[in-house]
Structure 1
């Protein structure tokens, strides 16, 4: 890692983070620590969602290697200082991974990521300072800070390992985990619990687990560029069950485009990756549809049910558009944003319907103690 460029990027992220921090301070003047931290968590949550969506745009626009080093761009804090290197790379490969626009897309993604990191650092420090007046332990904010550092490492490995598919997929899942951590903390600050029967919560937990698996499969499709391995719907390349190479497609420890044995990834492997995501989507759609119906029947949770149904329909539409329309950028980006929105909605649902902790019941005194 280039320490000098990292220091300059960190200073730039601090300057950018002063904007949302100043907004929170001005809007929450005179309010208690809980209200200020709730506002800070809300804006950090919003920016994290934007970061996930922009990260998808970075991947979908093939800008992941727009700056082939980390954390800077050819050792500089912005593409402006790396003009000569970017021009030379683009002149050698005009359609290659390094172009002027791709470099800016990649660096804007890094600026946003480091800004979110600064906000989470401030949130953790403030949580420890005000821990006596907060509804939950400051270890939640500390865990979020630790996780954002892990995400930064995954971001670095994404570049240095040249878009290694397993690392890119884990980076996506890590971003969604960060989103969930912030959502839980924001819910605790709001302190607006909702009633939910235990069977409904179990259904939500099961549907959420299936959704995570489906998102991992979708990330595997995207990072291996297998979206167009199947043309047409519901058939795949005119067949209900096309030729597929499952073991090759789901060999995790391999480079982009390479098979586990060292050769190139076969087309049958790409079809297997695509079909796994398509088939499991049926299972997830049924689970989420059932959950949306059950939520709609509960008056206190009807808004969650309506939101879940709308997001599910949007996901199905954007997923079909990717296949039928040949993977347009808008549909692909909407599909990624929809997955993040589903994770956010289910996390908020589970956090707001979590059973309240009951105070510990004192032990009944023994007969000897009572007599005394």
Structure 2
């Protein structure tokens, strides 16, 4: 049980992280401090996703096996007696001094994001009311949704620890983090006036949304690979165990509600189940990449979407390269973390593509592409 003093110390660390971000915002020369705050929060969220991958891949998720503190304390220094005792029993186990610090730093950074989102909500409401509820970028509805979402994310962070890294909980925790990043990107995109894009972008709205959904599904599969420690289940490429379709156990591999490394019946997870997990992630990557590349090809032909289309294609090519190198080089930590970071970058870029594809729709309510052409023909063209 965590006492009030420990909770106060933990909260103060989250506030300290947020204060560092506030210093960056208020010392910036950008006159729009609210916009700067949103983008600094987004940047910190991206960093936390990367650090979360590092936490997971270094097996530090149970470095402090309770929550929100570490053996009931606010930091590993205060819990050193417990950590040393656990480390003495299992030197290579989940609890070590290094792993405890990795886990707690991840929590401190996550708490900082929570504080920053609370600040975004308060500031957006204040500016929204001061503007007579007329300034679109200060609408508090998205910030409030962010606050609700970050609370849900925090709950799954707690369950990740208390349920001993149950794969489905950890995977949902990853997906929620990526979704929070995407929501922040959408709020960030609302902070400035974007130049109009060609009316043909109206037809790209659904394909761009499908591309984002496919990416989300692929990230879920990647999280399932990572949380089940199935990264090296196929150690060759492009084949898997020298076969196009190796021996696989999909039933046990994709049973969602089960303990880490175990089947639903409590037996050890067979290796063919790990193979099925890895193989599915690898095969679906080609489906996702092909579709996103097609969407980028269509976007590149639309005035105003060329830059974002190039960015998505470049990130996609980098992600595929990192994925292949990660398998070929036997899953080095730096590449594995970079693979996770590049997935987050793809989320950001596809959210921006979706936002830009909806600019004509927002400018011309209830108008089709032909009507939008008339409205936008007088607007200056810009590829930004």
TM-score (norm 2): 0.89
Paired position in structure 1 for 2:47: 50
Supply the distance in 2 between the matched residues of 1:148 and 1:122 (Cα, whole angstroms): 13
Supply the distance in 2 between the matched residues of 1:122 and 1:325 (Cα, whole angstroms): 43
Once the 2 structures are TM-superposed, how far is the Cα of residue 350 of structure 1 from its aligned partner? 1.2
Supply the distance in 2 between the matched residues of 1:359 and 1:347 (Cα, whole angstroms): 21
Paired position in structure 2 for 1:269: 273
Q: For residues 298 and 96 of structure 1, do their structure 2 counterparts lie closer, same or farther at Cα, with a shift above 3 Å needed?
A: same
Supply the distance in 1 between the matched residues of 2:190 and 2:300 (Cα, whole angstroms): 24
Supply the distance in 2 between the matched residues of 1:344 and 1:321 (Cα, whole angstroms): 23
Supply the distance in 2 between the matched residues of 1:328 and 1:125 (Cα, whole angstroms): 42
Paired position in structure 1 for 2:28: 27
2:204/2:357 contact within 8 Å kept: no
Matched, 1:232 2:222: no
The one of 268, 279, 296 equivalent to 1:292 is 296
Aligned counterparts, 1:85-164, within 5 A: 85-132=82-129, 133=131, 134-136=135-137, 137-164=139-166
Matched, 1:356 2:357: no
Stretch of structure 1 that moved more, 351-360 or 194-203? 351-360
Stretch of structure 1 that moved more, 78-87 or 293-302? 293-302
- Greater RCO, CA 8 A, separation 6+: 2
Residue-by-residue CA offset, 1:108-150 (whole Å, 9 max, x unaligned) = 1001000010000011011111114331531210110010010
Stretch of structure 1 that moved more, 224-233 or 291-300? 291-300
RMSD value over aligned CA atoms?
A: 1.7
Once the 2 structures are TM-superposed, how far is the Cα of residue 17 of structure 1 from its aligned partner? 1.2
Aligned counterparts, 1:178-189, within 5 A: 178-189=180-191
Aligned length: 357
Paired position in structure 2 for 1:367: none
The one of 307, 319, 322 equivalent to 2:326 is 322
Q: Any runs of at least 4 consecutive aligned residues in structure 1 with deviations exceeding 6 A, and if so which? A: none
Matched, 1:301 2:302: no
Q: Which runs of 5+ in 1 are unaligned?
A: 362-372
Paired position in structure 1 for 2:370: none
SS at 1:227's partner residue? coil
Once the 2 structures are TM-superposed, how far is the Cα of residue 3 of structure 1 from its aligned partner? 4.4
Once the 2 structures are TM-superposed, how far is the Cα of residue 202 of structure 1 from its aligned partner? 2.0
Paired position in structure 2 for 1:364: none
Aligned counterparts, 1:181-200, within 5 A: 181-195=183-197, 197-200=201-204
Supply the distance in 2 between the matched residues of 1:258 and 1:349 (Cα, whole angstroms): 40
Once the 2 structures are TM-superposed, how far is the Cα of residue 27 of structure 1 from its aligned partner? 2.8
Once the 2 structures are TM-superposed, how far is the Cα of residue 208 of structure 1 from its aligned partner? 1.1
Q: For residues 173 and 193 of structure 1, do their structure 2 counterparts lie closer, same or farther at Cα, with a shift above 3 Å needed?
A: farther
The one of 255, 260, 283 equivalent to 2:259 is 255
SS at 2:258's partner residue? coil
Supply the distance in 1 between the matched residues of 2:195 and 2:213 (Cα, whole angstroms): 22
Supply the distance in 2 between the matched residues of 1:194 and 1:346 (Cα, whole angstroms): 18
Paired position in structure 2 for 1:368: none
Matched, 1:171 2:191: no
Once the 2 structures are TM-superposed, how far is the Cα of residue 200 of structure 1 from its aligned partner? 2.0
Supply the distance in 2 between the matched residues of 1:205 and 1:149 (Cα, whole angstroms): 25
Once the 2 structures are TM-superposed, how far is the Cα of residue 295 of structure 1 from its aligned partner? 2.5
Supply the distance in 2 between the matched residues of 1:293 and 1:204 (Cα, whole angstroms): 11
SS at 1:130's partner residue? helix
Supply the distance in 2 between the matched residues of 1:360 and 1:349 (Cα, whole angstroms): 21
1:66/1:97 contact within 8 Å kept: yes
TM-score (norm 1): 0.92
Once the 2 structures are TM-superposed, how far is the Cα of residue 291 of structure 1 from its aligned partner? 1.9
Supply the distance in 2 between the matched residues of 1:11 and 1:189 (Cα, whole angstroms): 30
2:309/2:353 contact within 8 Å kept: no
Stretch of structure 1 that moved more, 135-144 or 278-287? 135-144
Once the 2 structures are TM-superposed, how far is the Cα of residue 193 of structure 1 from its aligned partner? 4.6
SS at 1:356's partner residue? helix
2:232/2:330 contact within 8 Å kept: yes
